[in-house]
Structures are given as C-alpha cells and as structure tokens.
Structure 1
C-alpha cells in the first residue's frame, strides 16, 4: 500500500487550532445571562416638607398643639363618663372634688376603685388610695440637725414655723443648741418678730445682710446642732428672689424647705413651687391648714411636684400647732377641715366652747 499522504495545511482563513477557542467563546456567550440595558431613572422632584419660614413653622406647631388638646379633651370626657357609670366611683370623684384635689389625681384614684366595691366602703378605700400617692419625708429633718433654711412667699408663715421648729428642738435638746438667723433685714417688723421669739425661747438670733455675710456667719455657728434660717418673704415674681436664692446655693451645707400656705389656689401654689425650685427644696411645710376647707389642693401640688411633706401647721401656738406629716393623718384631716369650713360662724358658741 502506498504510504498515506500528509494532510495539506489549511488556509489561514480556516485555522483548526483556533476553532475550539472560538466555539468555547460562542458557548459562553450563549449561556451568559442577557443583561437589560442600564436605565438611569429620572429623579423625582423632592418634596419640600420643611416650612419655608418661621411663621409657617409656628403655624404648624400651633395646629399640632390644637389637635393634641382636642384629643386629650375628648379622652378626658370619655374617661369621666366611664367613671361616672359606676355609683361608687362617681361618689369618690364628687368627694375628692369637694376636698379640692386636682382632677387628674381624682381620676387616677377613682380608676383604682373596683366596680363591685360596696357603697359604704368607697370612702375608706378612696382615702387609702390617696394616702399611697402622698410623698412623705421618711426622716424628720430636725433629727439630722445641721443648717435648714425656710423659703416661701410673703405671708406663708415662715417666721412662726421657725419658732415652732426651734422650740421643738430645744425641748428635745437644749436652747443653747439652736441658733436663729434672719436674712429679712429690710423689714423691721419681720426682724423684730424673730427677735421676739428668740427672747421668748432663750435662743440667740443673728442677721445676715448678704451672701458673704451668711457664709461667714454659718462658719461661726458651725458648733450649733441646729441653725434655722428665716429668709425674706418675697413674691414669686419679685426680682430680688433670684439674688436671695443665690445666697442659699452659695452655702452648700444649707438644706432648704419650702413653706407653702394651704389656703391658696392651685395655680398660685403651683407657680410658687416652680419659682422657688431654684432653691432645690428637699421638702415642703404645709402651713395654715386651719384657714382652708380644701386641703386636697395643697396635697395635689405636693404630689404633682413630688415634694416630700415634712410638717404641717394649723395655728399660731408655739410649738403646739406643728405636726409631723404622715399619710394617714393627712387624709383623715380632709373631712375635718371641710366640715370646719362649712360650719357657720357663731361667736357666742365659740365663746361658750372656749
């Protein structure tokens, strides 16, 4: 057999060596996913949610506040209607209103009274629930001693209260252990009243005319077990109030108590607490209980501002008309004070009883 002839080389147009590579490339191209053409979306016009000026912003806030008030008012009305659907709860609401309690506190207490509570047990349960809400100072500040300043508005009874506290402390210890300080040097009558109490009790009285005087004086009195400071009676909007409170803040060792007259309206007491908050009072003394029949108003302010109640005063006698505050005694006095306010004034009967 003749020898096989070698195959003639293919032309450059038909190169066998590059065929597998071309096929592979074609297969890969067929198997590759077909990508959609990239489309760049046209950005939507931005929404301008920000008011164009301050006036529009104020208007928006005003509308939102109005809507909130409408919703709160409707919720309150709905809650009141639901509460008054129960006879025992309705009776509790009426009684707390007579005592002078804030409407919010009254609703909270009424909601906790079970619907199946018997009518004759409603008042006792209501008083128990009220007593749990009262912030009572756990420790008598007199027991700790130190430096205590009484602050409060004009006519709150600070000077008389200081005399009662000093007398009570002197009975338990000695008059030489107590010192009295007045910063109310501008009014002669107020200063003389404290001096009169000091002479009566055998307790020394000192004066401080400025913050530096007060700091130096307290340094000299540091050996006394108790120092009571009688501050000037200033209205909550008096410009001199800020300066006086600054004196107290400058002396870090001073503990402050707010004297709040219970015979004042809720709004006025609330303003007093807010204005005197710069003194950072550690508690409150509720004074003039004998001059109000709606003691619940003062208790509501103490609850709202979470001010621990330390003492209450109910007259001018020193020190008999000063009482340590307890939750049970405070709620039990609600009815007594209301009835006393409703009693007709009969001078002949009062004279006969006396």
Structure 2
C-alpha cells in the first residue's frame, strides 16, 4: 500500500532585507573580475585579421620598400663585375698566348702577316697555334694559308641553282642591286631570261627603282615592285611560275628603325631564302655589327662584295668564320656578270696577298694628271 505523500522540505527563510551593510564585503569580486578579461584581450588584439587584410593599410608598406628593384640592381651590378673580370682574364690569357707564340719566329711572322691581311686577332691566334714552332720558314706561308682555308665556311651548293625566291639583304651601299643583276644574268645564261623575275621593295629612295629597271631592260628580265608586306605576298603568288625570283631589298643602315619592319616582311612570307650582302671594304667591327643586326633575317649565306676596293680582305673572312656564314659568291667590280665569282676557299686565300699588294701600289701619275 502506498504510504502517505512526502512533503517537500521546508524552504529556508530568505535573508532579511535589513542588513544591507553586510552585503558590501562582496563588492571586491567585480574588482577581481575586471582585470581578468585583460589577458584574454591581449591576444585578441594581436590576431585580429581585419587590419592586415585591408589593402588600404598594406599598400603603403609595399610602395615604401621596393625590394625587387633593389635586387635587380644588385644582380645587374654583379653581372657587370663578372663580365669585367671575364674580359680582364681573357685579355691576360691572350697576352700570355701571344707572348708564347712570338717566342717562335715562324709563328711571329705568321701573326704579323695575318694582321697585315686584316684578320681578327682571335682567328690569327688560332691559326698560329696550329703551326709547329720548328716549321721551315720556306713552307710557313703556305702552311698558314692552308690552315686558313680549312676554317673558311664555303657554301657547297650554289643557292641560285636550286631556284625559288631569294632576297638579298644588307646595309646601304653594299652593292645589292648590282649583285642581283649579276646573279640574274648568270642564271639567265644557264636557263633563259623568261625564267627569272626581279622584285624591288625599295620604292622610296630616288633612283633605286630606276637602276634595277635599267638592268632588267638590259637583260630582258621582268621587274616588279612591292611597297608592303601584303603586296609582296600577293606578288610572289603571281610569280610562282618563275624558276627564280630575286628580291632587291631597300638599303638600310644596321641601326635604322625601319630595318625591323623590312625583316618582318621577309619572315612573314615564309618561302623566302635570304643572302646577306657584305662589303669587304668595311672594318671588322662594323661588319660584325651588320651580321648581328641582320641576323633576324636568318641568312643562309653571305655574298662578299667590293673585293677590288680593299687591301685587308682578312676582315671579311674573319667575320664569316666567326659567325659561320657560308660564303656563296664574291664580286670584284661593276661588270655584269663578269665580276661575279663562285666562292672557293683556295682562291680566297690566294687573293689575300694580291689585294694587299694592290693596295700598297702607288697611284699612277698619268691617271692623276688625267683626273686633274
């Protein structure tokens, strides 16, 4: 049987409201709780992400500290120092090599002779090193010429015999137009004049077109003009039936800004092969710059012109060796096409002495009086 219901325990009587003063000792508890949040607030203030993510705050710090440009300047200065040290070491090594080579009379004579021919010092040094120190002086010059001829890059095949489209590029006054006339005449003799077409892109200079048109009339070869890259592409499509198309480009200096646009025409066509026309009566440094500036045309060979106007033919040969440009043709006068010759290593080195002697010959007094 269920027992009688239990009664809840009696509630404790509430504290009488009278002693208010007795409750005042509990006031120090809030004083203790007030400094407690302070340590927790310290890490919160450090880890707040809002100020760091604000671009308005971060931008000034990046602009004030240019770390990357400073690194670039330091890297550029370091490269200049390294390049300077390299040049200094190379000069000292070359000086030491020259002193050692000149200890042999045969090698010393070879170095002096190649300098008179106009060869670059590096190429002359390479040739002298290969000459035995005890070489018979009577055989020294022949041995020197033989070593030079082995270094000459000669085009094994005549580029115009393969036909197609060939553009002649080169600096102002290199003789491109006359060389084109010689090449066209030589090809027409082997085939027919109707198999050759001439194109000029030099439509701005006074007299440039007239010279090529004059050669065309003399040889019975058609001459065409192209004033832009688009016109050139369209013209080449119309001339597709010709076995050989020779393009006479505008004569521009190697530092002319228009040179880039002209070379872009040739690259855009795609089907054009290029030959660099290099005047042999120019200094080694200038010819070296021309080759570097016209390198964008990707020339497949070089035509050396104006051999009759220089006594230091070794400069042109040195440039061809340094840049590994195959020599295709050489010219030594204005006659068309008699003064155009196929490149041969043996013939080129044999002409070194002839050209030097011709330059050293005194002028003919009778010719001087005739000019006066």
* TM-score, normalization by structure 1: 0.83
Note the C-alpha offset of 1:80: 0.3
3-state SS, counterpart of residue 188 of structure 1:
coil
Query: Structure 1 stretches of 5 or more lacking a match?
Result: 1-50
Note the C-alpha offset of 1:348: 2.4
Q: In the alignment, which residue of structure 2 is the partner of 1:290? A: 308
Q: Distance in 2 between matches of 1:159 and 1:264?
A: 18
Trace 1:16-31 onto structure 2 (pairs within 5 A).
none
Change in Cα spacing, 1:251 to 1:57, as seen in structure 2 (3 Å) is closer
Trace 1:44-63 onto structure 2 (pairs within 5 A).
53-63=71-81
Q: In the alignment, which residue of structure 2 is the partner of 1:326? A: 344
Q: In the alignment, which residue of structure 2 is the partner of 1:196? A: 214
Change in Cα spacing, 1:351 to 1:174, as seen in structure 2 (3 Å) is farther
Note the C-alpha offset of 1:82: 0.5
Q: Distance in 2 between matches of 1:248 and 1:62?
A: 36
Q: Distance in 2 between matches of 1:59 and 1:271?
A: 25
Note the C-alpha offset of 1:251: 1.1
Q: In the alignment, which residue of structure 2 is the partner of 1:306? A: 324
The higher radius of gyration belongs to: 2
Aligned length: 302
Which of 188, 209, 212 is the matching residue for 2:230? 212
Q: In the alignment, which residue of structure 2 is the partner of 1:67? A: 85
Q: How big is each residue's C-alpha offset from its partner over 1:126-175, in whole Å with a ceiling of 9 and x where there is no partner?
A: 00000000000010012101111000011000000000000001111111
Trace 1:1-354 onto structure 2 (pairs within 5 A).
53-348=71-366
3-state SS, counterpart of residue 270 of structure 1:
helix
Q: In the alignment, which residue of structure 2 is the partner of 1:14? A: none
Q: In the alignment, which residue of structure 2 is the partner of 1:38? A: none
Note the C-alpha offset of 1:351: 11
Q: Distance in 2 between matches of 1:134 and 1:333?
A: 14
Q: Distance in 1 between matches of 2:351 and 2:369?
A: 24
Change in Cα spacing, 1:117 to 1:150, as seen in structure 2 (3 Å) is same
Note the C-alpha offset of 1:349: 7.0
3-state SS, counterpart of residue 166 of structure 2:
strand
Q: Distance in 2 between matches of 1:207 and 1:60?
A: 51
3-state SS, counterpart of residue 143 of structure 1:
coil
Note the C-alpha offset of 1:253: 1.2
Change in Cα spacing, 1:52 to 1:279, as seen in structure 2 (3 Å) is closer
Q: Distance in 2 between matches of 1:55 and 1:147?
A: 47
Q: Distance in 2 between matches of 1:230 and 1:59?
A: 44
* TM-score, normalization by structure 2: 0.79
Q: Distance in 1 between matches of 2:157 and 2:365?
A: 41
Q: In the alignment, which residue of structure 1 is the partner of 2:8? A: none
Note the C-alpha offset of 1:347: 4.7
3-state SS, counterpart of residue 186 of structure 1:
coil
Q: Distance in 2 between matches of 1:52 and 1:189?
A: 54
Note the C-alpha offset of 1:71: 1.7
Change in Cα spacing, 1:89 to 1:140, as seen in structure 2 (3 Å) is same
Note the C-alpha offset of 1:187: 1.5
Q: Distance in 2 between matches of 1:147 and 1:57?
A: 46
